[in-house]
Structure 1
Amino acid sequence: MPHNSSARKHGGEHSDGGGSASKIQRVKAGRVSEDNEKKSSSKRLKDVEISVPIVYGTISFWLGKKANEYHSHKWTVYVRGATNEDLGVVIKRVVFTLHPSFSNPTRAVESPPFELSESGWGEFEIVITIHFHNDVCDKQLDLYHHLKLYPEDESGTQSTKKPVVVETYDEMVFSEPSESFFARVQNHPAVIVPRLPASFNLPPPESIDDMNERKRGDTNDHPLSQWFMNFSEADELLKLAAARQQVQAHIARIKRQMIVKFLGLDDRG
């Protein structure tokens, strides 16, 4: 935060150095209203869901010798594809709401990469508001992220080369998508779409203003990409399998305890 903000706060999910802290959510983003459906002349696909994995978070660097009382860190807040693809095919704009002590605290980013860089000395909650294209969803999606500047272990030495990274993996789920939306993203690497019957004919995808001018997969060459956390479906499946094994082992222990207790009661009888 700038110099006129309150004292820095600690808390929330965080990570020391180059490591990343993460949590997983699944957000239902809604669907297109009937009014927008009529405007786009696109029908909705019943019993179909489109999933868009995203990651949002912050990367903060200590300024070292360049740090002063009011500017100790430089940081970037962002929304990116889970594997760093261009999200402009789904997202129209992202609005970042910073601490009110910043000049112009509400900042809108109209095209990818959807990110904002600033400098300051304090931690605070950033509101990230995602606006979608008209044929995707009428409602905005509000996300909340706590900016973390300082490592978890405050006794440790800060580094100008190793940032503090905090990221959250999320999945935006769109139920009953419009045909135009489905057609536009069905082969896009950032979007998970189901297979439709071979006999089903989709209309040609509708173009989005300036879409051709955007660099597809723009965040793949992002200067901060070395610090991005890798999220993959395979990793999540491994985590789920490990959790299932732990649950099964716990159930087996409880069953053994119940059997032993039951047999003990019988022996006393």
Structure 2
Amino acid sequence: MAFWLGKKANEYQSHKWTVYVRGATNEDLGVVIERAVFQLHASFNNPIRVVESPPFELSESGWGEFEIAITLHFHSDVCDKTLLLFHHLKLYPEDESGHMSIKRPVVVESYDEICFSEPSEGFFARVQNHPAVIVPRLPPGFNVPPVPIEDVDRRKRGDTRDNPLNQWFTNFSEADELLKLAAARQQVQAHIARLRRQLSVIDGQHQQLKPASDP
């Protein structure tokens, strides 16, 4: 996520940006991730940055776009392998002729799912005790169990619900994706039905134009 600095921008500092790894519904990823390592462009001082607690994010300023490598290290009872992700830092909107604003950032987020097979009891218990902060919108007839209320004063919060950038986060929801797929399927089925009707009309016209056979 990148903010243009406007009148404060110069040749070397045109944008302030933040790269992050967050939960799709702003849940606490600290129950899964032990630390995140961000590898920036070699031109930065100390280009390898380590974030050892949530939120797993890094803010910097600069003028150029580049690819950031992100290595996720999981807790020992989660997975003994690391996960390498790549994110292209984008400072300018897709429409290069568009007007840049200091109030509205350029947001580029990608959605990835990680499956942990046969989780340990300790890991499973931690995940169960840290439910999603924002419950996704579900289709009619679908229900979710109530979310337990936690005493946030007694336990450090690692979710990103109150993150200053929250208003710009993309809303990732499996339910919304299912609704989009269902709507797309209905459109395809309607289009197929319309084509079949057109073919039926054309076939009928062809039959009418076919010359009668000689007796």
Measured against the shorter chain, the TM-score band is 0.7 to 0.9
Match of 2:8 in 1: 66
Are 2:181 and 1:240 aligned? Answer: yes
- Greater RCO between the two (CA within 8 Å, min separation 6)? 1
Q: Which digits, 9 at most, give the CA deviation of each residue in 1:218-246, with x for residues without a partner? A: 42111111211222233222212112212
**Counterpart selection for 1:113 from 50, 55, 65:** 55
Match of 2:128 in 1: 186
Structure 1 ranges of 4+ moved more than 4 A? 253-269
CA 177–247 in structure 1, closer or farther in 2 if over 3 Å, else same:
farther
After superposition, the CA RMSD in angstroms is 2.7
Question: Where is the strand percentage greater, Structure 1 or Structure 2?
Answer: 1
Count of aligned positions: 192
Q: CA deviation at 1:89?
A: 0.3
Identical-pair percentage: 77
Match of 2:69 in 1: 127
Q: CA deviation at 1:184?
A: 2.0
- Structure 2 gaps of 5+ residues are 136-152
Counterpart contact for 1:99–1:105, Cα < 8 Å: yes
CA 256–84 in structure 1, closer or farther in 2 if over 3 Å, else same:
same
Q: CA deviation at 1:117?
A: 0.5
CA 260–88 in structure 1, closer or farther in 2 if over 3 Å, else same:
same
**TM-score scaled to structure 1, two decimals?**
0.63
Match of 2:149 in 1: none
Are 2:65 and 1:95 aligned? Answer: no
**Structure 2 matches for 1:13-32, cutoff 5 A?**
none
- Give the 3-state SS of the residue equivalent to 1:170 in structure 2: coil
Counterpart contact for 2:37–2:72, Cα < 8 Å: yes
Match of 1:225 in 2: 166
- Give the 3-state SS of the residue equivalent to 2:179 in structure 1: helix
2-structure distance, mates of 1:184, 1:148: 35
Match of 2:142 in 1: none
Q: CA deviation at 1:110?
A: 0.7
What one-letter code is carried by the residue in structure 2 that aligns with 1:183?
A: A
Q: Which digits, 9 at most, give the CA deviation of each residue in 1:53-103, with x for residues without a partner? A: xxxxxx111111211101100100001111212110011111111112222
**Counterpart selection for 1:177 from 111, 119, 142:** 119
**Counterpart selection for 2:86 from 134, 138, 144:** 144
Are 2:91 and 1:154 aligned? Answer: no
- Give the 3-state SS of the residue equivalent to 1:126 in structure 2: strand
**TM-score scaled to structure 2, two decimals?**
0.78
What one-letter code is carried by the residue in structure 1 that aligns with 2:179?
A: L
Q: CA deviation at 1:215?
A: 2.1
1-structure distance, mates of 2:155, 2:91: 31
Match of 2:150 in 1: none
Counterpart contact for 1:87–1:190, Cα < 8 Å: no
Q: Greater CA radius of gyration, 1 or 2? A: 2
Counterpart contact for 2:32–2:75, Cα < 8 Å: yes
Counterpart contact for 1:86–1:215, Cα < 8 Å: no
2-structure distance, mates of 1:135, 1:72: 42
2-structure distance, mates of 1:181, 1:72: 43
2-structure distance, mates of 1:70, 1:185: 43
